[in-house]
Amino acid sequence: MDDSSAEETRVLSQILAAQNMLCVFFSERRLAEFVKEVLRALPGVGRAGVCLRLLAEPEADLGLQECKDCAGSGRGLDDIGRSRGKCKLEKQDGFAVFPLDTAARSYGYLLVATEGDGPFERYRPFVVNFANSVAVALENRLQQKRLSDHVSELERTNERLKREIAERRRGEETLRKSQEQLLHAEKLSALGKLISSIVHEFSSPVHGVRGVLEQVHEEASLSEGIRSLTKLGIKECNRMSEMIQKLRGFYRPSAGIAVLLDLNALVDDMIFLNQKKFLSRKIQTVKNYDPNLPTIKGVEDQLKQVVLNLLQNAEEAIPDGGGKISVTTEATDTVVRLIVEDTGTGVPPDALPFIFDPFFTTKPGAKGTGLGLSVSYGIVKKHRGDIEVKSRFGEGTTFIVTLPR
């Protein structure tokens, strides 16, 4: 093999090796410097060297940089054949132009300075192939970047859809809870109407029985034993009448108008309604009322519901075998407090932060709806008050209701 063939083989190997490296040049060096390094070594390339000119659009898409010779002179082309500035090679007579074209588009061109009719012409076909490989590499890179951008956009869209789905699920859950709350309220309304009807039906017969017993009791011919029985009957009729009146007052819907209330008397009424259940479960009620408690302004049936919920919660928290519920009222210069304390099982520490959340309950099975404390919290807040809970698991729970004077 003569020197000419050996040189040609060397140059061909060099160009082929460079073509194989084009797929990784983005991560190793700038394209312009890489192309210049490859082509400068070719026989017949002038001292002015090599310049890579890119179209403005793909250059911006790919984030590439041209050779330093073109910096500041209007890098890139707006279109093939119309440059914003000229490289020094374009000002010379001897240079070769190699388009960087693919089937899809044109990316620019290579300028190679040549020395007259020197040996460079022998390698022109190799440079053409090399320029085509550069164009294909640019095409691949551009497609890769656009694919990457598309994937990023899909990921952003996916995250947005996830957020929208999560928001929709939260909205559906809120709607479901609202529907359940409305259904529960409708059940309570129906129950109130039923009890009101029953109370009305019971009231007249009780009054009639009491009237008969009072007349019999006045008969002088009665023995002491019969007189004692009629007296007991009258007493029980009075107790039943009192219970009927309290039931009627509790279940009769109010107009939502705030009036002056005696909190001690209101609490007494609610304890009276629960007294039978307390006694059957051996639960002792301790009243620590402030005898000089000032009146408060509130909606009567709403505050009765708060007290009833607290008493029922206290009763349900006390295990079989009995316990104690203490009810305390007290006042300061600005507020009145109701404190309901039980000796029940207490609230688990992890459940305490959620105790006033709607539908949250620690009661087993269908024993609780999870609405009692939530509704009570809302009522107290509407009265410009506050309700707080303190509990020691296994020892008992204390609810403190604070209302303005």
Mean pLDDT over residues 47-59, rounded?
65
User: What is 3-155's CATH number?
Assistant: 3.30.450
Give the whole-angstrom CA distance, residue 321 versus residue 364.
Answer: 19
pLDDT of 383 > 60? The answer is yes
Per residue in 107-142, pLDDT (tens digit) is: 887 778 777 666 777 778 888 888 888 888 888 777
Residue spans of the domains in the chain: they are 3-155, 255-404
Position 172, amino acid: E
CA distances for 107 relative to 34, 79, 97, 123, 280, angstroms:
17, 9, 13, 22, 93
- pLDDT of 246 > 70? The answer is no
* 71 exposure class (CB count in 10 Å sphere: 0-12, 13-18, 19+): exposed
- Residue 248 — very low, low, confident or very high, per pLDDT cuts 50/70/90? low
- When pLDDT is cut at 50, 70 and 90, the band that residue 28 belongs to is very low
Q: Give, in degrees to the nearest 5, the angle at Cα 53 between 49 and 58.
A: 150
- The helix or strand, by DSSP H or E, that contains position 139, with its residue range, turns out to be helix 120-217
- Rounded Cα gap, residues 55 and 143, in angstroms: 16
- Rounded to the nearest 10°, the torsion over CA 266, 268, 272, 274 is 80
Binned at pLDDT 50, 70 and 90, residue 161 comes out as: very high
256: left (phi > 0), else alpha (psi -120 to 50), else beta?
left
Cα–Cα–Cα angle for 405, 314, 396, rounded to 5 degrees: 100
pLDDT in tens, 272-282: 888 888 888 88
HSE toward the beta carbon, residue 105, CA cutoff 13 A: 14
Distance in angstroms (rounded) separating the CA atoms of residues 201 and 210: 15
pLDDT recorded at residue 324? 92
* The token pair that represents 127 in the structure block: 């440079």
Between vectors from CA 281 to CA 393 and to CA 307, what angle results, nearest 5°?
65
Strands (E), 332-377: 335-342
Instruction: Tell me what pLDDT residue 84 has.
Output: 40
Instruction: Please give the backbone phi and psi of residue 192, each rounded to the nearest 5 degrees, phi first.
Output: -65, -40
For 198-217, what is the mean pLDDT? 76
| Confidence band, pLDDT 50/70/90 cuts, at residue 70 | very low
> What are the angstrom distances between the C-alpha of 132 and each of 10, 102, 107, 125, 373?
20, 7, 10, 11, 77
If phi > 0 it is left, if psi is from -120 to 50 it is alpha, else beta; for residue 273 that is alpha
Write out pLDDT tens, residues 72-112: 333 333 333 333 445 555 545 567 888 888 887 888 877 78
The CATH label, of 3.30.930.10, 3.30.565.10, 3.40.50.720, 3.40.50.300, for the domain at 255-404 is 3.30.565.10
Contact by Cβ (8 Å): 319, 346: no
Rounded to an integer, what distance in angstroms lies between the CA atom of residue 204 and that of residue 227?
A: 24
